[in-house]
């Protein structure tokens, strides 16, 4: 009969749990689940990994440490098992006092049992302290994972750490040990109880498996959706100036919030799943109590000899009920296990997936045995065909045959998009040819090791990439073992040494993220020095001097000509002056060679492509170039911009801190929890429901203690009918409580998930908005790079959600348990209640101290972790440069150094935390020992009944166990508080220039008059350097004004001040006589059309890029703008036309193609003022001429259009109304082209350098 009852009840409980997956597989209304792009589809197809693969990167040391930890925790589990056995035995002894004379002998031995047994147990449990060094045992395993995917790796790391410590060690091991122990304990009893344990364990494992699969799947969906949001964050703040200039903040905010909404529904689903699971565990625990006591009462009533007594039943029921209760308490940590399986999927897929280019990049990590240092260097492209893997319908190279002879210079020219840069990518083995072959000295290039090949190739690309470290380190990355003398010599060869030595901190000056603190010419020269320092066998120059002014270009070109001697050099150029001395020139058109020869042979070929390109670049020379040498010497002595020194390295362990704290930060300490709850105010009803559910769950434990005392008291009846009737009544109450608590827990977790997901969405959205409002200078600081910001929005926001969901629920539940338990205990016996409360107070104090220490540790470690995250983002964004420099090992080595710093900083506090945790277990044991002893004394004095003793002891056990669980989450609470303070610092910060402000004046009849009145400017990050010094510049409406000067003289700064990226240090800028600081900032930027030297496109379609920042633009207007920019024909030939995605920063397009799309974007906006900063520098002569004609036409259509042009290529500014020459932040001469040429001043000397311009 008992087993039949048990089976039916368990079957009913399982029925409540069996169809939950069907419910969660339905699409919620408004969830808007959809696959955004192809990458998302691939991520969605990935399945959660298995547990055996989760630790695939753990090394021998990790496994040894985990094995030791598992062994020690198994010992601890046995201790817990014995404590429950003793609890059942001793409680039974107290209960048996009511059975009359049969218990006399037990009463005589009661004191010895309490003292001896629990003292022995306490000595065993002291060994828990040995876990001290195992709190972070998985740290070493994360190094490989962290260098892969910034948006995925942080949750993956956190989840795995929780799995190892809390999931496996605390949860699964203790549950299994307790269950196995109970099973062994029941072997000597009746078969009915044994069957009960087997059915219970089988039911639990089945539901556990289903939960893991669903949570892992939902975690994978959440990571995929948030990875899209994280990509937006990185894209926006690494291109922040472009976003502001196009007024794209509103568009980006909408795009980001759309992704957050999708992520929110995944979080809610996870919470609901966890609520069902923990509710089911509560139901199972109460089922154990009900069915256990019913079965026990039946067995006792049928067994007249009473070989099975109340102690045996209490042992079995207590073990299983405590196991289920413990698992339900650590549900949040078990959730981490399921989430880690999902979080690992995209990381492992990235590690395991093959390379689309059929190149085994693992060769980079092996030392090459076949050196190529002593080869001649004869390179041949033999009938090479190539199609990019992402654009298979658009062939790039078609039967291309080129030969670069050893020691000679070979030039490749042609229009934008003809395949010039693709040739270099193939030679560097970023891709493999679709057909054909590339050889070096007659051997296929695939026979050479990738690592050794790239180390012997020096590359200077069209858009130089520098890393956020010092100038010295940037040059050293060309040759990691270079001496300082070699680095300085390379800088001299690249004409960079002089300007570097004039900086306050010389070679130790930070260049900022992507070299943002330097001008284009300065970046190009440092990149050139980086290529020359390795003394390469091959030299690849992809528009190496395109960003230099004419004088600097000639200096650098002379250095390049010297560097090319004895090397195989391949040059790609639009500016044909740089390749006149090339030994062989190849002219490409649509991926095929159409002309080849020297400059002399091609220039005389009538009707040839090369000849027409040269003619389009020619201008009349104003005079002889006899003063070239004087001009060169003058340029060499020009002053350069100064940069501040911050001793930090791109990939080193040094971390910069903000020495100048924001003045807007409040002096008073904020109450983080109160502010977070205030942000959650719209969900106050949901939070109230969740908190009430927590209170009910907490109050259930003292009530459970009361029911246990009552049901134990029922066994005093000698009448079997009375015993069964009393047990059945209380067991029914157990069943009702189980069903009610299952529903309550579901409501608790679901409500917290709803409130927490909304809060996280709100925090991320508000943070994103606040960041968009900050001034540009805020992002110039190293700690506010796009990588660091992305990490904060990903991991810190998730930590806050965790605190206000599962953590807040656990705290509320424990507080309710302690409060109601104390009230019950005080009513029963004040002395015993005070003993329990004293122990709880000690626990509270210990936990408070631990949280304080963890906050301190978090404050120390967070900057290092942010630096590591910033490094990951920077490496991923610049992976092409990383591969080209062949510094993958250096990246990993120095990244590991950052992680090691965190480990070294953490190990002492972690030992302290582990020892504290072990001492808490000891405190629990000795508290229970003392309680048992004191209860015995009070019982002998008849000051307390056996019924009261059982209630107080049960309350003490439940409370102490619950507080230990609070200790487990202390670390996460500290992390969450620290993260919240970081967000509130940002929320409270008042930006110097509020990019989100709607205040300010708008000029309805803006004419385009611009005046710089005694403007002085110093960059906030360069306090020792004056960039503009009393600049006086007047621009009348409709004028075309050109600004020229050497690299770094302050030309681009003028444009940035007009766009209000910065405000002037002194003086003012006036538009139609109004100070621009008094104008509406969005209106102001809408009047400017800004085309930068390095065009920035977003990972959107071509149509979306052209219409970026504008709303409801007809397609025909987009097409017309593209036609004016001479890019429509190119777009139409793409398979998806205007719906073609351009990739991150336009990575799928060539430099000229990106520039033309950027110009089309400006034409569509129809601005009142054009700001052109080297707008045509990346174009071939034909496209440049077309764009120049388009600009001329724009002026003809709107005579009031004002233009400010910054140029190195002087042929583009001959027709300007006025040309201003800037030196040291001042205008030293101005006039028309003819006037300045006649003056034979600095402009004349610049012009004399442009032989073909």
Who wins on pLDDT, 859 or 204? 859
pLDDT of residue 614: 79
pLDDT per position as a tens digit, 114-154: 333 333 333 333 232 233 222 332 333 333 333 334 444 44
State the pLDDT confidence band at 1052, using cuts at 50, 70 and 90. Answer: confident
Would you say 1152 and 1180 are in contact if contact means Cβ atoms under 8 Å apart? yes
- Residue with the bigger pLDDT between 1122 and 670: it is 1122
Task: Tell me whether residue 353 is exposed, middle or buried, using C-beta atoms within 10 angstroms of its C-beta: 0 to 12, 13 to 18, 19 or more.
Answer: exposed
CA 7 to chain centre: 49
* Averaged pLDDT, 476-484: 87
Which pLDDT belongs to residue 111? Answer: 37
Question: What are residue 1029's phi and psi, to 5 degrees?
Answer: -125, 100
Euclidean distance between CA atoms 699 and 1168, whole angstroms: 70
Q: What is the DSSP string of 365-401?
A: GS--SS--TTS---EEEEEEEEE-TT-TTSEEEEEEE
Calculate the average pLDDT of the chain: 72
How far apart are alpha carbons 662 and 985 in whole angstroms?
9
Given a contact cutoff of 8 angstroms between Cβ atoms, the answer to whether 493 and 537 are in contact is no
pLDDT in tens, 597-656: 888 888 888 778 888 877 766 543 333 333 333 333 333 333 333 333 333 333 333 333
The answer to whether 244 touches 776, Cβ cutoff 8 Å, is yes
Report the range out of 16-20, 22-26, 504-508 with the highest average pLDDT. Answer: 504-508
pLDDT of residue 1117: 92
Task: Count each helix (H run) and each strand (E run) in the chain, helices first.
Answer: 47, 20
Which has more pLDDT, 78 or 282?
282
The Cα–Cα gap between 397 and 434 comes to 9
Q: What is the pLDDT of residue 1083?
A: 93
Residue among 478, 431, 450 at smallest CA distance from 372: 450
pLDDT tens digits, one per residue of 44-99 = 445 555 555 666 666 777 777 777 777 776 676 666 666 666 666 665 565 555 44
Stretch (H or E) spanning 1016: strand 1010-1017
Q: Which two tokens stand for residue 8?
A: 């039916």
Stronger pLDDT, 349 or 1056, i.e. the higher one: 1056
Which residue has better confidence, 357 or 286?
286
**948 three-state secondary structure:** helix
pLDDT in tens, 865-885: 777 777 776 777 777 788 878
- What is the maximal distance between C-alpha atoms in the chain? 128
Tokens of 1093: 């030297």
Reported as a single tens digit per residue, the pLDDT across 744-772 is: 988 888 898 888 888 888 888 899 999 99
How many angstroms separate the CA atoms of 1041 and 1221, rounded?
11
CA distances from 956 to 239, 350, 831, 962 (A): 58, 50, 13, 10
Domains and CATH numbers, the chain: 2-354+673-988 (1.20.1560.10), 1010-1249 (3.40.50.300)
For residues 96 and 103, the answer to whether their CB atoms sit within 8 Å is yes
Q: 1202-1222 b/e with 16+ CB inside 10 Å = b?
A: bbbbbbbbbbbbbebebbbbb
Decide: helix, strand or coil at residue 287: helix
Q: Are 1200 and 435 in contact (CB under 8 A)?
A: no
Least confident segment among 72-86, 245-259, 424-438, 893-907: 72-86
> Cα dist. 393→388, 882, 1153 in Å?
9, 29, 18
Confidence check: pLDDT of 854 > 50 = yes
Q: Compute how many other C-beta atoms are within 10 angstroms of the C-beta atom of residue 242.
A: 22
SS3 295: helix
- Residue 1118 confidence (pLDDT): 92
Q: What is the DSSP string of 1017-1047?
A: E--TT-TT--SEEEEEEEE-TT-EEEEE-ST
Distance CA 319, CA 317 (A): 6
Strand-pairing partners, residue 572, are 412, 542
CB neighbours (10 Å) of residue 308? 17
Distance, in Å, from the CA atom of 892 to the CA atom of 896, rounded to the nearest integer, reads 6
pTM, rounded to two decimals: 0.63
DSSP secondary structure of 597-663: E-HHHHHTSTT-HHHHHHHHH-----S--TTHHHHHHHHHT-------B----SSSS-----SS--T
**Which residue in 893, 905, 799 sits closest to 859, CA to CA?**
905
Does residue 18 register a pLDDT over 60?
no
User: Is 416's pLDDT higher than 50?
Assistant: yes
What's the helix, strand, coil split of the chain in %, to 5? 65, 10, 25
How many other β-carbons are positioned within 10 Å of the β-carbon of residue 1137? 14
pLDDT at 1248: 72
Q: Say how many Å lie between the first and final Cα of the chain, rounded.
A: 103
Q: Which residues, at least 6 apart from 1169, have a Cβ–Cβ distance to it below 8 Å? A: 1008, 1010, 1058, 1087, 1088, 1089, 1201, 1202, 1203, 1204
Query: What are the phi and psi torsion angles at 695 (to 5°)?
Result: -65, -40
**Per-residue tokens: 80:** 């817990």
Q: Which two tokens stand for residue 542?
A: 């992809």
């Amino acid at each position: 009969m008992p087993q039949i009852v048990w089976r039916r009840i368990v079957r009913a409980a399982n029925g409540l749990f069996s169809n939950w997956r069907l419910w969660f597989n339905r699409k919620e209304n408004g969830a808007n689940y959809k696959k955004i792009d192809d990458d998302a589809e691939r991520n969605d197809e990935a399945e959660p990994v298995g547990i055996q693969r989760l630790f695939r990167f753990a090394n021998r040391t990790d496994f040894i440490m985990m094995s030791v930890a598992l062994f020690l925790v198994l010992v601890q589990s046995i201790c817990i098992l014995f404590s429950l056995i003793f609890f059942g035995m001793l409680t039974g002894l107290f209960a048996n006092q009511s059975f009359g004379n049969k218990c006399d002998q037990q009463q005589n031995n009661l004191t010895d049992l309490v003292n001896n047994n629990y003292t022995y147990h306490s000595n065993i449990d002291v060994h828990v302290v040995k876990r001290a060094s195992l709190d972070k045992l998985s740290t070493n395993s994360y190094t490989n994972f962290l260098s892969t995917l910034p948006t995925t790796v942080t949750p993956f790391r956190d989840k795995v750490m929780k799995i190892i410590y809390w999931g496996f060690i605390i949860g699964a091991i203790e549950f299994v040990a307790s269950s196995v122990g109970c099973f062994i304990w029941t072997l000597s009893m009746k078969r009915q109880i044994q069957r009960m344990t087997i059915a219970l364990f089988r039911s639990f494992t089945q539901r556990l498996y289903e939960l893991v699969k669903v949570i892992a799947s939902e975690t994978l969906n959440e990571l995929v959706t948030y990875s899209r949001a994280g990509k937006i964050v990185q894209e926006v703040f690494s291109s922040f100036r472009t976003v502001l200039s196009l007024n794209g903040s509103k568009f980006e905010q909408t795009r980001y919030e759309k992704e957050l909404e999708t992520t929110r529904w995944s979080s809610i689903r996870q919470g609901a799943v966890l609520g069902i699971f923990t509710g089911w565990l509560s139901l199972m625990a109460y089922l154990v109590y009900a069915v256990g006591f019913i079965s026990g009462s039946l067995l006792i009533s049928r067994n007249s000899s009473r070989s099975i007594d109340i102690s045996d039943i209490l042992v079995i029921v207590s073990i299983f009920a405590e196991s289920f209760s413990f698992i339900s308490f650590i549900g949040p940590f078990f959730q981490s296990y399921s989430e880690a399986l999902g979080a690992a999927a995209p990381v492992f897929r990235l590690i395991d997936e093959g390379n689309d280019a059929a190149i085994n990049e693992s060769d980079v990590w092996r030392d090459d045995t076949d050196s190529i240092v002593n080869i001649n260097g004869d390179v041949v492209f033999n009938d090479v065909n190539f199609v990019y893997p992402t654009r298979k319908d658009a062939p790039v190279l078609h039967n291309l045959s080129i030969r670069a002879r050893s020691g000679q210079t070979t030039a490749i020219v042609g229009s934008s998009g003809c395949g010039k840069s693709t040739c270099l990518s193939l030679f560097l083995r970023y891709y493999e040819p679709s057909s054909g072959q590339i050889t070096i000295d007659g051997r296929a290039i695939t026979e050479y090791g990738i690592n050794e090949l790239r180390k012997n190739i020096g590359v200077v690309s069209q858009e130089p990439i520098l890393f956020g470290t010092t100038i010295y380190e940037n040059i050293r990355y060309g040759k990691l073992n270079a001496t300082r003398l070699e680095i300085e010599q390379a800088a001299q060869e690249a004409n960079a040494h002089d300007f570097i030595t004039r900086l306050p901190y010389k070679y130790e000056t930070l260049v900022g993220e992507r070299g943002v603190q330097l001008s284009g010419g300065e970046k190009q020269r440092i990149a050139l020095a980086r290529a020359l320092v390795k003394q390469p066998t091959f030299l690849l120059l992809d528009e190496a001097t395109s960003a230099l002014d004419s004088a600097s270009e000639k200096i650098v070109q002379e250095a390049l000509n010297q560097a090319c001697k004895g090397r195989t050099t391949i040059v790609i150029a639009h500016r044909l002056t740089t390749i006149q001395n090339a030994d062989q020139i190849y002219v490409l058109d649509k991926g095929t060679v159409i002309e080849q020869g020297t400059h002399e042979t091609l220039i005389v070929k009538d009707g040839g492509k090369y000849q027409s390109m040269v003619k389009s670049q020619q201008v009349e020379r104003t005079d002889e170039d006899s003063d070239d040498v004087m001009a060169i010497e003058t340029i060499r002595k020009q002053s350069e911009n100064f940069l501040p020194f911050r001793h930090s390295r791109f990939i080193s362990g040094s971390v910069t801190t903000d020495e100048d704290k924001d003045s807007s930060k409040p002096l008073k300490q904020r109450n983080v929890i109160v502010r977070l709850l205030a942000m959650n105010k719209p969900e106050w009803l949901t939070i109230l429901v969740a908190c009430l559910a927590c209170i009910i769950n907490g109050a259930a434990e003292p009530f459970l203690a009361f029911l246990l005392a009552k049901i134990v008291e029922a066994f005093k009846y000698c009448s079997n009918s009375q015993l069964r009737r009393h047990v059945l009544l209380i067991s029914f109450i157990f069943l009702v409580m189980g069903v009610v608590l299952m529903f309550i827990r579901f409501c608790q977790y679901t409500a917290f998930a709803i409130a927490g997901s909304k809060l996280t969405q709100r925090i991320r959205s508000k943070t994103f908005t606040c960041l968009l409002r900050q001034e540009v200078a805020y992002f110039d600081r190293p700690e506010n790079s796009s990588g660091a910001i992305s990490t904060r929005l990903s991991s810190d926001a998730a930590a806050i959600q965790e605190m206000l969901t599962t953590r807040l629920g656990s705290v509320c539940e424990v507080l309710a348990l302690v409060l109601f338990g104390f009230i019950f205990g005080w009513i029963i016996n004040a002395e015993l209640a005070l003993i329990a409360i004293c122990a709880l107070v000690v626990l509270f104090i210990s936990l408070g101290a631990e949280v304080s220490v963890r906050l301190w540790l978090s404050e120390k470690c967070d900057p290092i972790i942010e630096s590591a995250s910033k490094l990951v983002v920077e490496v991923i964004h610049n992976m092409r440069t990383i591969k080209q420099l062949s510094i993958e090992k250096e990246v990993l080595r120095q990244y590991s150094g950052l992680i090691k710093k965190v480990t070294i900083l953490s190990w002492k506090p972690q030992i302290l935390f582990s020892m504290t945790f072990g001492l808490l277990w000891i405190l629990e044991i000795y508290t229970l020992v003392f309680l048992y002893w004191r209860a015995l004394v009070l019982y002998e004095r008849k000051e307390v009944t056996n019924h009261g003793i059982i209630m107080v002891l049960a309350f003490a056990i439940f409370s102490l166990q619950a507080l230990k669980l609070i200790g487990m989450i202390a670390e996460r609470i500290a992390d969450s508080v620290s993260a919240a303070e970081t967000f509130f610092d940002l929320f409270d910060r008042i930006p110097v220039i509020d990019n989100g402000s709607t205040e300010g004046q708008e000029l309805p009849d803006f004419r385009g008059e611009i005046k710089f009145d005694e403007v002085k400017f110093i960059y906030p990050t360069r306090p020792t350097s004056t960039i503009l010094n009393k600049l006086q510049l007047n621009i009348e409406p409709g004028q075309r004004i050109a600004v020229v000067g050497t690299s770094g003289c302050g030309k681009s700064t003028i444009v940035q001040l007009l766009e209000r990226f910065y405000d002037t240090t002194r003086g003012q800028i006036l538009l139609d006589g109004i100070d621009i600081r008094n104008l509406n900032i969005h209106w102001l930027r809408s009047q400017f059309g800004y085309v930068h030297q390095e065009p920035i496109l977003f990972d959107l379609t071509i149509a979306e890029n052209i219409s970026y920042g504008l709303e409801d633009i007809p397609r025909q207007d987009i097409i017309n703008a593209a036609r004016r920019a001479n890019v429509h024909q190119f777009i139409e030939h793409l398979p998806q036309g205007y719906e073609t995605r351009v990739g991150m920063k336009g990575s799928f397009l060539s430099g000229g193609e990106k520039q033309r799309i950027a110009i089309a974007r400006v034409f569509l906006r129809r601005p009142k003022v054009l700001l052109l900063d080297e707008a045509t520098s990346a174009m071939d002569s034909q496209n440049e001429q077309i764009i120049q004609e388009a600009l001329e036409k724009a002026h003809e259509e709107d005579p009031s259009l004002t233009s400010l042009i910054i140029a190195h290529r002087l042929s583009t500014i001959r027709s300007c109304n006025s040309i201003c020459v800037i030196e040291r932040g001042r205008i030293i001469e101005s006039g028309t082209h003819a006037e300045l040429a006649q003056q034979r001043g600095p402009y004349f000397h610049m012009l004399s350098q442009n032989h073909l311009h």
